[in-house]
Structure 1
Amino acid sequence: MSARAVTEATFQAEVLENDKPVIVDFWAEWCGPCRAVSPILDQIATEHADKIDIVKLNVDENPQLAMKYQITAIPAFKVFKQGEVVQSFVGAKPKPALEADLAAYIQ
């Protein structure tokens, strides 16, 4: 299962009420690093679908959530567990670095 898109309308159910940890990728169509990291996130989502969900939130189309979670640079990643942000990091990274950042949730 690859990472799926969420919107302001689906964020509550898909992220905040999810039983599994959820990694939210805050991105935009015009962002080169966002596009570069996207296939890596899809791989991680597929490989660890039993442990985590990965979703993508377009900040241009969902500005209220981008503001709420204080997104000032993209790609930005926030890990939600039981509706709370438990980890944040910013910037495109190679797969081993992303997996290291997410080790607590995918091991």
Structure 2
Amino acid sequence: MANANIIILDENNFENEVLQSKLPILVDFWAEWCGPCQTLLPIFDELADENKDKIKIAKLNVDENRSLAMKYRVMSIPTVLIFKDGEEIRREVGAKTKSDYESILNAL
């Protein structure tokens, strides 16, 4: 079941949701076939619920949005980009633990 606190991104809403966001936004670049990406689903669900007033959590399927993956030079997945005021401020490649992501978010 989809989490109402997670934004599903595509080429039509990326600029509005990410680049014009008032809150920092964590964007998970992922794909259905990616095992490590699947392990992150419950982690991002929890983070989205626990931090909804501080940061947005979004997912971008790289298979469906290849041009955005290329634009942001996403070479392997999962890749997480964090944007603030329309600029990429952090990049994490590979699956991390929930506490790793909490530390990253707390550093914002």
CA RMSD of aligned residues (A): 0.9
Q: Which residue number in structure 1 is paired with residue 58 of structure 2? A: 55
| 2:36 counterpart of 1:33 | yes
Where in structure 1 are there 5+ consecutive unaligned residues? Answer: none
Equivalent of residue 90 in structure 2, options 87, 93, 97: 87
Q: TM-score, normalised by structure 1?
A: 0.94
Q: Secondary structure at the match of 1:55?
A: strand
Where in structure 2 are there 5+ consecutive unaligned residues? Answer: none
Q: Which residue number in structure 2 is paired with residue 5 of structure 1? A: 8
Equivalent of residue 46 in structure 1, options 46, 49, 60: 49
Q: TM-score, normalised by structure 2?
A: 0.93
Q: Deviations for 1:27-55, whole angstroms, at most 9, x for unmatched residues? A: 00000000100110110011010000000
Contact 1:2 1:43 in 2 (8 A): no
Compute the displacement of 1:98 (Å): 1.3
Seq. identity, %: 50
Equivalent of residue 102 in structure 2, options 99, 103, 106: 99
